[in-house]
Structure 1
């Protein structure tokens, strides 16, 4: 019988895994003077820990969510984490276009979880 933790743990693990993955994929952009092979190796090392969170999140989550719901959840979490990261770490600005695009993706997520069809 699923518990509240069965529904919450995958979300928390996916959020944490996305923090690691965002740093693995984009964190090096602040250090563009470093040789590419070094940032690739560091990124790979960071991604190793991301997998230790994402794989259990999906394994546990599949007990209460469909694969499509897990993937949708992961994408929405990725956008939220990336938006915070791009502003705080990279110093970039979010524009109205970003907001509209993110809202359209959120609308797609609504259809996956609660849509009328």
Structure 2
């Protein structure tokens, strides 16, 4: 159980860095920077994503004594990724709104989690 908790916490942290690396430059005053520098900055941020993502997968993988198989790890990561993205978008990009079709999509993700974890 502790491995599962660590895995999920590390995945949340890694996805915060990932979302910032992939989408932060669209908001945080980098419009005047050349694309090359945006890529370098994003890679620098993504380094920290990898520093959390790789241990999360190693700790969480059932082949290493963790709680999740590969399918489960991937679905958990995707749900966390979209959840972090949703929070980031609503907090940082005030003009974006959460619509019914987004909520329906999240419901399908929850169903995906259910079916992936079903024995």
Query: TM-score of the superposition, structure 2-length normalised?
Result: 0.89
SS of 1:97's partner is helix
Match of 1:80 in 2: 83
| Corresponding residue for residue 48 of structure 2 | 49
Q: Which of 57-66 and 30-39 deviates more? A: 30-39
Shift of 1:114: 2.6
**CA apart distance, 1:32:** 3.1
- Report the aligned-residue RMSD: 1.2
- The aligned residue for residue 23 of structure 2 is 26
Helix, strand or coil at the partner of 1:75: helix
- Match of residue 101, structure 1, among 73, 87, 105: 105
Residue deviations 1:46-82, cap 9 Å, x none?
0001000000000000022101000000000001100
Q: Structure 2 unaligned runs (5+)?
A: none
Summarize deviations over 1:6-25 as a string: whole Å, max 9, x none.
Answer: 12100000000000000000
**Structure 1 segments of 4+ aligned residues over 4 angstroms from their partners:** none
- Residue 35 of structure 2 corresponds to which residue in structure 1? 36
TM-score normalised by L of structure 1? 0.90
- More moved, 95-104 vs 17-26: 95-104
Measured at CA, do residues 34 and 59 of structure 1 come closer, stay the same or move farther in structure 2, by a change above 3 Å?
A: same
